[in-house]
Structure 1
Amino acid sequence: MIDPRRLRVLRAVADHRTVTAAAAALYLTPSAVSQQLAALEQETGHALLTRSGRGVRLTAAGDILLGHTHEVLAQLERAEAELAAYAGGTAGEVTVAAFATGIAEVLAPAIEQLAGAHPGIRVRVRDAEGDESLPLVLGGQADLAVAVEYRGAPREDDPRLSRVPLYAEPFDVVLPAAHPLAPAERVALAELADSEWIGPYPGNPCHDVIQLACELAGFQPRLAHSSDDFRAVVALAGAGAGVALVPRSALRGMELKGTAVRPVAGPAATRRVFAAVRRGAADHPLIRPLLDALSLAAGGLSTG
């Protein structure tokens, strides 16, 4: 009989490619992970991992078992959801990992709505960048993520996750007020090819969106200043340090002194925001009301 707890360990190793990284994600020691994997190989009668450089990769048998692992763990999530529903489980805690603007735009309004409709559900929020929240859900440290599309993100058909689209928003160009293009109603990104840029660090999902938008406009942006805080990005633009692309919602209520904010002429860079839970958990009686509240909060957001 295969122990499903060991299947979680196998999936973590497949996701992180090293025993050490998988152990950190599972809050276990590397030796404990190695012991669980050895026991799983004994249970199955097959070698499941092989060394690859400094990490590990699954064998053919490991790949077969991983495919079943996604189904087994999703079914266990469904079983927990049905048992909770049977028990009338409308009281408990849900941990949500979300990026700062997502918290302000949809999560905070959803929590407010939930407090009136489902007062027994408590939401605990973890501030996490868009690329950090999904690993937290997959690793069991969060129940739900409010995340953004980024290069390398799990695909929509990923067997580990269920996704709910929330909203999409454009990025606007932020220019120094004295910039020659500041009087324009709209700004084509190609016109900024020779400018110095201000933007998030590589690894931030917004960095990927900006990079791709500039590449589609025919150039690589010359990043002169880096910050993951859009208030700092806008302040630097206002000081004449460069130009930037900033998500429209991040600009709301922000001090824009010394800047000109303009929409993009032509195809705009767009941030697509979604909620994600482990596959099989979407109908859990603590999670479904929150997903519905998030969708309701996102319904009033402008996408253009």
Structure 2
Amino acid sequence: MIEARRLHILRAVADHGTVTSAAAALYLTPSAVSQQLSALEQETGHRLVERSARGVRLTPAGEILLSHTHVVLAQLERAEAELAAYSSGASGTVTVTSFATGIGLVVAPALAVLADTAAGIRVRVRDAEGDASLPMVLDRQTDIAVAVEYRGAPGADDPRLTRVPLYAEPFDAVLPLAHPLAAAPRVPLSDLSGDTWIGPFPGNPCHDVVVLACEHAGFQPTLEHLSDDFRAVVALASAGVGVALVPRSALRGMDLTDVVVRPVDGIAPTRRVFAAVRCGAEEHPLIRPVLDALGKVAG
């Protein structure tokens, strides 16, 4: 009989690529992970992983088992949800992890909705970018991730996750007051190809949005100044050291007196935000009200 706990470990190893990283995500020791993988191989009668100096990868037999693992773990999530509903488990704690702007825009307002509609649910909020929060969901470190589409993000058809679209917002161009395009009603990105750029660090989902938008406009941006804090990005633009693309909601409440903010001409780069849970957990009586509240606020 295959133990579900070992299937979870197999998926973590496949997701993280090394035994050490999987062990850290699961709060286990590397030796414990290796022992569980060996036990799983004994249970199945197949070699499931191949080790190398760069990490581990699944064998063909391991890939077959992984495809069934997604189905099994999703079904277990559904079983937990139904049992919780059967026992009227509408009281407990849900952890929501989101990037900072998402917390202000949808998570915090959703807490106010829940206070009126599901007072028995306590929500813990954690700040993390989408490229970190989605693995946290899969590793059971958080229940819900509010994340942004980014290059390499799990797709809408990923069997490990259920996604709920929340909102989409454009990025606006932020220019120094003395910029030649400061008086333009709209800014063509191609006209900024020769400028110095300010933007998020690589790995931040918004970094991918900025770079892809510039690539579509025919150039690679020269990202001279890097910060994940959009207030710092705007401050640098106000100092005249470069131009930037910033999500529209992130500009709310900022001091914009020393910059100009203009919409992008043509198809604007867009930040698409969604909530994600482990597949099968979306109807859990603690998680469903939180997803509904997020959707109500975002809608």
Query: Same fold by TM (over 0.5)?
Result: yes
Q: 1:258-295 CA deviation, whole Å, 9 max, x = no partner?
A: 10000000011100000000000000000000111000
**Which residue number corresponds to residue 12 of structure 1?**
12
Name the aligned partner's letter for residue 35 of structure 1.
Q
Q: How does 1:65-80 map to 2 (within 5 A)?
A: 65-80=65-80
**Which residue number corresponds to residue 166 of structure 1?**
166
Return the offset for 1:130. Answer: 1.6
**Which residue number corresponds to residue 131 of structure 2?**
131
Name the aligned partner's letter for residue 49 of structure 2.
L
Q: 1:183-203 CA deviation, whole Å, 9 max, x = no partner?
A: 011000000000000000111
**Which residue number corresponds to residue 236 of structure 1?**
236
Q: 1:55-88 CA deviation, whole Å, 9 max, x = no partner?
A: 1110111011001100000000000000000000
Work out the CA distance in 1 between the residues paired with 2:217 and 2:45: 54
Aligned-residue RMSD, C-alpha: 0.6
- Residue identity over aligned pairs, in percent, reads 75
Q: How does 1:3-82 map to 2 (within 5 A)?
A: 3-82=3-82
- For 1:165, what is the secondary structure of its paired residue? strand
| TM-score, normalising length: structure 2 | 0.99
Return the offset for 1:257. Answer: 2.4
Return the offset for 1:224. Answer: 1.1
**Which residue number corresponds to residue 182 of structure 1?**
182
Q: 1:103-148 CA deviation, whole Å, 9 max, x = no partner?
A: 0000111111001110000000010012111000000000000000
Work out the CA distance in 2 between the residues paired with 1:52 and 1:16: 14
Return the offset for 1:90. Answer: 0.6
- For 1:277, what is the secondary structure of its paired residue? strand
Q: 1:221-251 CA deviation, whole Å, 9 max, x = no partner?
A: 0011110000000000001010000000000
Q: 1:136-175 CA deviation, whole Å, 9 max, x = no partner?
A: 0000000000000001100110000000000000000000
**Which residue number corresponds to residue 93 of structure 2?**
93
Work out the CA distance in 1 between the residues paired with 2:49 and 2:216: 40
Q: How does 1:210-289 map to 2 (within 5 A)?
A: 210-289=210-289
Q: 1:206-232 CA deviation, whole Å, 9 max, x = no partner?
A: 000000000000000001111000000
Name the aligned partner's letter for residue 86 of structure 1.
Y
**Which residue number corresponds to residue 302 of structure 1?**
none
Name the aligned partner's letter for residue 110 of structure 1.
A
> Is 284-293 or 53-62 further displaced after alignment?
53-62
**Which residue number corresponds to residue 194 of structure 2?**
194
Name the aligned partner's letter for residue 239 of structure 2.
A
Aligned residues: 299
Structure 1 gaps, min length 5: 300-304
Work out the CA distance in 1 between the residues paired with 2:39 and 2:51: 18
Work out the CA distance in 2 between the residues paired with 1:131 and 1:60: 27
**Which residue number corresponds to residue 83 of structure 1?**
83
Work out the CA distance in 1 between the residues paired with 2:58 and 2:226: 37
Work out the CA distance in 2 between the residues paired with 1:12 and 1:114: 32
Return the offset for 1:53. Answer: 4.2
Name the aligned partner's letter for residue 101 of structure 1.
T
Return the offset for 1:51. Answer: 2.0
Name the aligned partner's letter for residue 3 of structure 1.
E
**Which residue number corresponds to residue 149 of structure 2?**
149
Return the offset for 1:52. Answer: 4.0
Return the offset for 1:54. Answer: 1.4
